[in-house]
Structure 1
């Protein structure tokens, strides 16, 4: 029996449009809704390296672009967040991992949505393992591959 999916209000912005065709609204919505544990209001913004680096530097103190940044504003009763994905980094990582760019975006959308709800993997190994297991469960539920089985 599949779980009921929560409602989602989605804003999809492509400041870097190189991958726009890989991110149809219905696929982005599906990935995020499968990861939501409550109703959500989420903005997804696809950016270039300049914007990605500026945001990572300003908000995390790390002077380089990263694949996904999550800005979480509320967990309950509605998950409110911005997910910022850096197109050139997503593309480079997908190439390095030998997976499709579209599948890597789906994984990062799931990953960022979990962060928006308080999931973490930075400081605690048990939390990291739980988050990884949850991501795998969601990805398999979406009919995609386990993102952590590459090269094992």
Structure 2
């Protein structure tokens, strides 16, 4: 799997750590299955708000948007993350910037791999459970 990372902000991110976490989540979900490229765009609230408005008809910034194209496709998905929103949320949740970033990154990857919030009695608790599990395994424990 190829991971394309584009950071359109001045905020420094550890691209190698991000790639490592993405690869571990994908491997945990799919095993040795080979998939195409995953694009990651790190941006600000203004750009993610514009993307959110265009594709989801919601005129507000959000932390992450995931676009799933299919595991058989050359590009399996795009993940857009607002580093501005991550900074704000980190304080709200008592996390460091990096902790919040990696937590949201994992969430975005799970969406690209087909997990959703819909269709569960517990309002998507399954995806949040997976997210917590992978965070613990791949971020906290390394």
TM class by shorter chain equals 0.7 to 0.9
Q: Aligned equivalents of 1:141 and 1:29: distance in 2?
A: 15
Which of 126, 129, 134 is equivalent to 2:125? 129
Aligned match of 1:73 = 69
Question: How many angstroms does 1:27 deviate by?
Answer: 0.7
List runs of 5+ in structure 2 lacking aligned partners. none
Distance in 2 separating the partners of 1:17 and 1:94? 18
SS in 2 for 1:63: coil
TM-score, with length taken from structure 2: 0.85
Unaligned runs of 5+ in 1: 1-7, 146-152
TM-score w.r.t. length of structure 1: 0.80
Deviations 1:100-133 (A, max 9, x none): 1111111111100000011011453357122122
Q: Post-superposition, which runs of at least 4 consecutive aligned residues in structure 1 deviate over 2 A? A: 37-40, 75-79, 122-127
Map 1:84-123 to 2 at 5 A.
84-123=80-119
Contact 2:68-2:77 within 8 A present in 1 as well? yes
Structure 2 distance, partners of 1:72, 1:119, is 10
Instruction: Quote the RMSD (CA, aligned, Å).
Output: 2.0
